[in-house]
Structure 1
């Protein structure tokens, strides 16, 4: 139950409940006005009398006058004025003159002829104000007296209140509705604001690239959502921490394995060198050369594995500087000439100036080593390697091509692809771009620096 009262549902139900109470209060006020109007009219000589009763009473009082004079008529008018404050009255005497007038309609003629009288009666027939005309006393020569009463007093009390206070009541009810709408808007606006803050927290990241926990201020549904979000962030951080620990263990394992493997490889290489000095048969010499080739491949794989591990851990030393790439390529290719000539490769070098690049020479050397090594291992049947440079308005490029069977074909010496992964990481790390176009008749690799 305590959890329910803290919920957004309970708060919104409270808003609806208060709105219902305010509307009921408005209807109660209307009812009180109605009852007040009813009692007020009852206390004022039955103001709720129908028009017919008022007309009968007026004729009865007019006919009951024995001596008609100004004083008697004035007293009659005063009596009716007490009962009907809204009423207007006047007396036209036997000479056709307007003798007495109390709150009557403006513009009454002072002299009343037969035509004026008929015109007045015609205008007041079934109109507002309600008009009653009666002879003063029993003698018609005393003239006539007229009663003018607004028809609103014959309406029900609620109609009268509506006439008097209808606008006020309308705006009162409208104010209650607007108040409910404003409170509802503020309620949902606050919910929206909290949800937006939670969304922003989901999009924000700290230095580790992880979401940031939010501050929980309330224990409602959104508060529970915020708690769940914080729990998720905590679990992600713990998972990241375990992953980093496992990654560190893996790196240490790879480093230790690389060191442990190199030691026996060095011994095997030394033993193969000793065996080569012995008087061996042709088959024995071929076997020793195969052993030496396998040792070189294993050593290269270990070196790639170490480099890949360091690159993934962002611990591979990177020292960029302005480097004349043209000169660098010429010197580097010269070191690979013997290896390609030994395998009978046609070497096609066409290098023109491509300016200075901001690169790490060690990284670039490692990239070219891996690419040239791939040509020797996987494109031997083509017996061709080409190294060129291109320069345009938009970019400078290093191009390496061969005439091998391409990446689509299976190679006997195909590895796990660590070498190309290292190439990709290093090229991207130096803000360069590269593309590989491999077909059945050869592979072309472009390393580009965009200007």
Structure 2
């Protein structure tokens, strides 16, 4: 019963049966109406003829004793008729029946007047032998020899005997007729609705079959439903919506695969970045341990310490990147003096730059007030300057300055180092890994931990970045600043 076909079939069958019963009742009423109309039309002048051929009635006599025998003769000729005489007020006077059969002793004159006036047939009048039902009739006024109105000759068409025989015949034939009719309609309804419901539910069955097939299909394929649901606009729309969802699911699946591949490649590069200082650290320590005590040089320990610091910095950056991707860091925007941040940055990197033979030049006015998160901005500049120191050769220059273009303030970090390739520049401009948009088989660029952190932090601060870089000539980073 949970299947749509079964529920529709059962509902439709019940509706058809109810409609059949209603139709049957309507046909019965219509048949009875037509029968009464025909019978009354055929016997329209019956009472008038009876009054004309009977000498007593033609003289306007309405008494019971005089007419009872005449009524008996008339009813022998027409067993379905019941004959009465009425006085001018409609009271029953004469009839041929036992007195206990008369249930009403007065007939409604309004129906008699309507009949005499030629009203639309059928006209139902009072049945003296019933307290509830009304029947068709024929009536004729009775007039005495002196021209006085003495009453009416009132003839019921289809009297009690007629009803008894009709009820007997109906009791024998009605069950057969009902059984045959209902059986025919049930079989007809079954065949019709099986065909119709099969036709209308065929698109749903196709849709269910296609979805079952897609359930076992691998996500690598372009999943889509075939365009073969033409039976119903709703089913067609549903298939289009499902295809749209499948397309989005496939795109998300491909995006997840690209992100997984990007993380895999990132880990490979990260392992290389970690391996270099770790190898250097172990190498210097081993060299120092293998050397005779009198030949052990302090420079080996210093080199090993520098490698350890590089390793520690990479691990810290890796933890920071993980915190950024997990949403554990949020921006706290405040109005700050950017020169104070740059002074701290200069104190941090000046000794290292001097040791590497690289010139650091920080040129920002004292009045530059910006709205940003000072801690996050400091991390961005730390990573950019650290990356520049790493790839700028001895004798190079790293410059940090502010400038205004079209009423927009920018902070520039410029170096004369190794530079970046075009695909690396485009990757850095993306604010998050989820916004990357590469072809499925295209290799994702790797930025290193520092630049990956820069990209995430710029996304938190909602800052644009403009990058110009040429391999072998250096890079120029422009960070948009909010001054109001």
Structure 1 length as normaliser, TM-score? 0.44
